[in-house]
Amino acid sequence: MGVDLVQGLLREKFVLVMEDEYFIADDIARALTEAGAQVVGPFGHVHQGLDRLKVEPNINLAVLDINLNGTKVFDLAAQLQELGVPFIFATGYGFGHLPEQFAKVPRWEKPFDVSSLANALAALDKSRG
């Protein structure tokens, strides 16, 4: 997995993981945990992420699969934008027809290296100050 490269990069960061495929969700959660993050989730339904945002004010970053069990994640993404929480889209379906408001959101196409994803989240966190 290459976690030695990312160990500690996300220390004390709460990362929301929205992924409906068990093995991918598990890989992402493990890599983020080994990078020092506190993983919130993973959740496979949009409503679970929206509910979690109401009770978990400490979310710093997020990884969002665009299609969660047949539901697009855009309502949750808009909520994260409103809260100023940086996030990455991760999907196996391509990125056609993303709403304009998400045009600048980093995108990862599955399959991807989860350690690289952890590095990208750390860079995204640093870029916001």
pLDDT number for residue 52: 96
DSSP letters along 105-119, please? S-EEESS--HHHHHH
Q: Assess contact for 41 and 124: CB atoms under 8 A.
A: no
Strands 59-65 and 87-91: parallel
* Residue 127 is assigned to a structural domain of this protein: no
pLDDT number for residue 69: 94
- Residue 105: C-alpha distances to residues 29, 34, 37, 59, 95 (Å): 21, 24, 21, 17, 11
Total domain count, the chain: 1
Residue 124 confidence (pLDDT) above 90: no
Q: For residue 85, what are the domain limits?
A: 3-122
The model's confidence at residue 7, banded by pLDDT at 50, 70 and 90, is low
Neighbouring CB atoms inside 10 A of 86's CB total 17
Q: Which residue has the tokens 């309502």?
A: 75
* Residue 129 is assigned to a structural domain of this protein: no
Buried/exposed 42-59: b ≥16 CB within 10 Å, e otherwise:
bbbebebbeebbeeeeeb
The runs of H, that is alpha helices, within the chain are 22-34, 46-55, 74-83, 114-127
pLDDT number for residue 94: 65
* Residue 9 is assigned to a structural domain of this protein: yes
Please report, for the domain that includes residue 29, its CATH number. 3.40.50.2300
Mean of the per-residue pLDDT values of the chain: 88
Segment 33-57 shows an average pLDDT of 95
Segment 98-122 shows an average pLDDT of 85
Q: Which of 70-74, 102-106, 125-129 has the lowest mean pLDDT?
A: 125-129
